[in-house]
Amino acid sequence: MPTPLKHTLFAEGTSEQAAKQDFVSGLRAFVLNDMATAMKSRYIDDIEPAIARNHEVLESGRDVHQAMQNDSVFKFYSSIRYNAQEMVWRSALRPLHDSKNRLSKCIGAVNDNSESTLKLDLELEIPRNVAALDVHLAPGSYHREDVAANWMGGALYDHGLNIFSFGMMGNNLDDIGQSMSQYIKHKFPNFSPSIILDLGCTIGHNTCAWKLTYPDASVTGIDIAPACLRYGNARAKDQDVDVKFEQMNATNLNLPDNSVDVVFSSMFLHELSVKDIRSVMVEAHRVLRPGGLMLHMELPPNESLSAYDAFYLDWDGYYNNEPFYKSFRDQNFTQLSLDAGFEESKLVEFITPQYSYMPPEDYAHEIEVDATFGENTGRLAEGIQWYGFGGWK
């Protein structure tokens, strides 16, 4: 359940507000564990056999979605999950509004003295795919800037993710960054990156994790949303993690060729059109030095999953204001990397357990055997595993 965020920018709220956040977080845990299990049982026990009796086969996630749409379990699962998503943001926003004065003072004071760590380009246009909708149903989206709170989008992301993830994304909401960076460190111990870039970093929660794994590296998070960068910079400073934040569009990096050792992203590509994803990967290849690594943490491709598991993960594409989600996951990720200029022999693909939920020595042991795709890959529930892919230049 949501625990206080690990920094002084946490808007604690009243006990009533905290109780509502606790309720929403618990509701999400119930939906994504118990109701999800019930829905799958319904599919296996009733829906799929009925289809088979008609001598039909459900071959894809879209087929399963079509078959499930009129079923009560799907309807209630979806309705409760959709409402819970709205309630995540609503329960996060009220305490944030109440704390606006204090946070404005704190964040402003930090950012006024952050010439070296916060670089904004306020002329940079927010792309249409970002500005046109409220991704994840977040009111105003993550580039939201309220009156006298031009950091609100970032704060909303941080506080919302804390409720949304019901304790499943790490104590500092950085388990993805920790798991990805630690996997690389364990599997490639001779790799010592000195410049690391995190694309679409939002508030830098996973960016900071890379700095903790590679403390000698210069780590920069980039995003097109100034609100996230302002908040992220203040957050990192508060947690005493030395990372930089720069406003940039990942499809057109303001960086020289061969200048970076790691280009990383997490839960980013599926928010982009396939055209933009191709541009991101071409840019990654361009800015990487020879021997550098492009690594994207993502939901797994649909071709690697059963029709049901593909349907299950596709839900966000239909109902969570993530219109590019499915078109990305319908791609062949290997081909995307090849098309960007990476060689087949140097491609990377792996599934990792969560790093921050076990002793480090247990993690090293867990990743000795390569994990395979399954229903836990990318599914936010007990036993989740994170998927990453990319390539070495």
Partner 1 sequence: MNNDSLSADPEEIDNGPVTLDTRGKRPAFFKSADVDALMTALLESMSQLWAARTQIRSLEQLLIKKGVIDSEELAQFTLPSAEKEKDQEAMQAFFADAFRAMLSGSQTIDNRQTEIDKFQNHKATGSHK
Binding site for partner 1 (CB under 8 A): 15-17, 19-20, 22-24, 27, 59-60, 62-63, 66, 69, 74-76, 78-80, 82-84, 86-87, 89-91, 93-94, 97, 100-102, 104-105, 107-109, 111-112, 120, 122, 129, 132-134, 137-140, 144, 146-151, 230, 273, 317-319, 321, 323-324, 326-327
Other Cβ atoms within 10 Å of 104 Cβ, number: 16
CB of 366 to partner 1, least distance (A): 36
Tell how far CA 191 is from the center of its chain.
25
Q: Enumerate helices (H) and strands (E) in the chain, giving the number of each.
A: 16, 8
Q: Quick one: which H or E segment has residue 108?
A: helix 100-112
**For partner 1, the closer CB: 149 or 209:** 149
Closer Cβ to partner 1, 174 or 314, answer by number: 314
Min dist. Cβ of residue 125 to partner 1 (A): 17
- In the bound complex, what is the minimum distance in angstroms from residue 44's beta carbon to partner 1? 20
Main-chain phi, psi angles of 315, to 5 degrees: -50, -45
**Distance in Å, CB of 246 to partner 1, minimum:** 14
Residue closer to partner 1 (CB basis): 107 or 217: 107
- What are the φ and ψ backbone dihedral angles of 391, each rounded to 5 degrees? -170, 160
Nearer to partner 1, 75 or 365 (CB): 75
CB neighbours of residue 154 within 10 Å: 31
**Least Å from the CB of residue 75 to partner 1:** 4
Shortest distance (Å) from residue 355 CB to partner 1: 33
Q: Least Å distance between CB 274 and partner 1?
A: 8
Q: Which of 195, 250, 239, 246 is CA-nearest to residue 221?
A: 246
Would you say 261 or 276 has its CB closer to partner 1? 276
CB of 111 to partner 1, least distance (A): 7
Q: Containing H/E element for 266?
A: strand 260-266
Please give the distance of CA 217 from its chain centroid, rounded to a whole number.
22
- Residues 229, 243, 360, CA angle at the centre, nearest 5°? 115
Residue 133 C-beta: closest distance to partner 1, Å: 6
Q: Cα separation of 361 and 356, whole Å?
A: 11
Nearer to partner 1, 198 or 276 (CB): 276
**Residues whose CB is less than 8 angstroms from the CB of residue 75 and which lie 6 or more positions away in sequence, other chains included:** none
> What are the distances in angstroms from CA 81 to CA 118, 205, 385?
36, 25, 21
Residue 317 and residue 284 in contact, taking contact as beta carbons nearer than 8 Å: no
| Strand pairing report for 386-392 and 288-298 | antiparallel
Which C-beta is closer to partner 1: that of 59 or that of 257?
A: 59
Residue with smaller CB distance to partner 1, 175 or 314: 314
Instruction: Quote the CA–CA distance of 311 and 39 in Å, as a whole number.
Output: 12
Q: Which is nearer to partner 1, 17 or 220 (CB)?
A: 17
- Pairing of the two strands 244-247 and 218-223: parallel
